[in-house]
Amino acid sequence: MEQVLKQFALEGTPASCAPYGEGHINLTFLVVTNTNRRYILQRLSRRAFADIPGLMGNVKSVTEFLAGQDPDPRSCLHLIPTLDGGCFFRDTDGEYWRVYDFVEDSICLQTPETREDFYQSAVAFGHFQRQLRDFPAETLCETIPDFHNTPDRFRKFRLAMEADAAGRLASVGPEVRFLLDREEEAGTLQRMRESGELPLRVTHNDTKLNNVMLDAAARTALCVIDLDTVMPGLVAYDFGDSVRFGASTAAEDEKDLSKVTFDLGLYETYANGFIPACGGLTAAEIESLPLGAKTMTLENGLRFLTDYLDGDHYYHIAYPQHNLDRCRTQLKLVADMEEKWSRMQEIIRGFLP
Ligand code: ADP
Ligand code: GN1
Ligand code: MG
């Protein structure tokens, strides 16, 4: 790690470097220097991202664009350059590394502690969406092709079932049936994207609560992080992914499914923060938000199960059934959303002009 850190223009010399955070994709470390400066060092996932130089080009241009809109240095991520002026370092094993300034005096939550926290995260993601409205979308590389193309996620799921690489297919019959029963409806957003019924915007695409920072003292929206999947997409993806994670009454990997329900109050709270902060959404976009919630939840269930069948190569796991447990919470949430569907639509219709 020392060799890696030497490549970056840090203030002081690194005194410690330890694993940090709860991301599922990259390897993240907190670095503290002898002058007490803190940095985030990340080894990017080569499994998830095929074109890391392209991804880093996106991150660089998006962070520079955001910095140009808000003078507060804590309002967006800042990349630390390498000594030769690049924005990442490739080591002799072919691994890619980057360093960010640590966002100081901030908190990053795994679950909302109060309704207001969740509201503030919605404001942050909505504001992020609005800030990127004039970003030149055509300059972005697609860091994960077909990331939220749900029909294509089903295609990959079928390949995983056929291969059954980890020999687990026979043990997940109910989960497979649940998913396949909903395949047709799950393709609706993708069809609306292709028909142009829903406009493409520059979206974050991974709007979990732990991808946003709140100010530690004021507990207000500060900064959106984890920009690896910023790509053209639908607003429904960002709304949906946030509520599937933050409006659940339990953790994403809760084993006791009786604890996992979809909280309509939190859903409404998120809508209250997100929709006005985005501003200028079309009526069709607003109406697509409940479907975004259901689709993103089902899609995450599908992806967790795909990785479980593949033998757990994509997401970090802490124990062998981890991806299956994650899949089951998502399917439980989808079932609960189906029960609450008319109310979910009613709440969102209240935001129509
Ligand atoms: P992953 O793609 O693996 O989810 P993230 O970029 O989201 O990686 O980082 C993982 C965690 O590290 C975040 O949830 C957050 O807690 C922490 N983190 C990332 N970047 C910063 C930063 N610049 N300042 C403070 N904490 C950060
Ligand atoms: C991953 O990187 P992280 O932990 O913020 C994943 C998301 C999933 C999420 C499920 C690049 O997010 O798409 O929704 O796990 N990110 C990528 O928790 O695949
Ligand atoms: Mg993350």
* pLDDT confidence of residue 109: 96
* pLDDT confidence of residue 340: 98
Distances (CA, A) of 148 to 86, 135, 162, 204, 304: 30, 20, 22, 11, 14
Mutate to test the pocket of ligand 1, among 27, 28, 52, 75 (most ligand atoms within 8 A of CB): 28
Where the chain has pLDDT below 50, the residues are none
Cβ–ligand 1 distance for 226 under 6 Å, the answer: yes
CA 308 to chain centre: 19
Cβ–ligand 1 distance for 108 under 6 Å, the answer: yes
* pLDDT confidence of residue 164: 98
The residue ranges of every structural domain in the chain are 2-104, 115-349
CATH superfamily, domain at 2-104:
Phosphorylase Kinase; domain 1 (3.30.200.20)
Mutate to test the pocket of ligand 2, among 148, 206, 231, 306 (most ligand atoms within 8 A of CB): 206
Judging by beta carbons within 10 Å of its beta carbon (0-12, 13-18, 19+), is residue 78 exposed, middle or buried?
middle
- Under CATH, which number does the domain 115-349 receive? 3.90.1200.10
* pLDDT confidence of residue 1: 86
Same fold for the pair 2-104 and 115-349: no
| Cα 19 to Cα 23: distance, rounded to the nearest angstrom | 11
Query: Which atom number of ligand 2 is nearest to the Cα of residue 296?
Result: 14
Cβ–ligand 2 distance for 230 under 6 Å, the answer: no
* pLDDT confidence of residue 353: 87
